[in-house]
Amino acid sequence: MLGSYVAGRYSATFGAADIGQSEDGFELEFSFKQELIDKTDAYARTIIDMIGQGCDTYVSANLIEWIPGSKALLWAYGGGVMGKIFSVAAPPAVFASNLASAFVMTSTANTTAASNPATLTGSKAFPAPNFNPKILCDSRLRKLPIRLILLPYQSSSDLISFSTS
């Protein structure tokens, strides 16, 4: 091989339930937050530095299997039941982090992805804010678009959104 490349399928679970196949794999997105130092009398509005303010991590995919694990992704407030918005266990004003579930991606053996990473685990995954999935109901393959935010959690003295192995 003329380079160091990585390719290979990942399967995934949400709350330990298989979420099935995706159309094009899983896409990780990182939204880094900074406070800009961009107002000075010497350099006007030029960005001269930045102060780190965190990072939001998202996972997106178009799922193509209509199974309980995939449907549960969209109805986290309703305990995975389609159409249920709130319940006694998850009333209005409940914190999303209290309802979040583990999202685990596992690489396929004997591919270059097998250890790059072998697994990725977001311990507190939840449907992303302001994501409005649309589900087409007709004679074509039903696709279930998902977008999860991997909420951060404390690990020793670190704040992390996911771990890898």
Name the residue ranges covered by the structural domains of the chain: 10-36+50-164
C-alpha 62/C-alpha 64 separation (Å) is: 6
* 74 vs 33 pLDDT, higher one: 33
pLDDT tens figures, 47-100: 999 999 999 999 999 999 999 899 888 888 888 888 888 888 888 999 999 999
Q: Please spell the DSSP secondary structure of 77-89, one letter per residue.
A: TTTT-TT----SS
Contacts of 82 (CB under 8 A, 6+ apart): 71, 74, 75
pLDDT tens figures, 113-124: 999 999 999 999
Q: Which two tokens stand for residue 85?
A: 């918005």
Contact, 104 vs 121, CB < 8 A? yes
Is pTM, for the whole model, over 0.95? no
Contact, 56 vs 68, CB < 8 A? no
pLDDT tens figures, 139-160: 999 999 999 999 999 989 999 9
Does residue 1 surpass a pLDDT of 80? Answer: no
Mean of all residue pLDDT scores within the chain: 94
C-alpha 148/C-alpha 128 separation (Å) is: 5
Instruction: Note the pLDDT of residue 53.
Output: 97
Does residue 28 surpass a pLDDT of 80? Answer: yes
Tell me: cis bond preceding 152? Omega within 30 of 0 counts. no
Q: Region 32-36: what's the mean pLDDT? A: 97
Instruction: Note the pLDDT of residue 81.
Output: 83
N- to C-terminal Cα separation, the chain:
25
Q: Which two tokens stand for residue 20?
A: 């099935």
C-alpha 70/C-alpha 32 separation (Å) is: 28
Instruction: Note the pLDDT of residue 67.
Output: 92
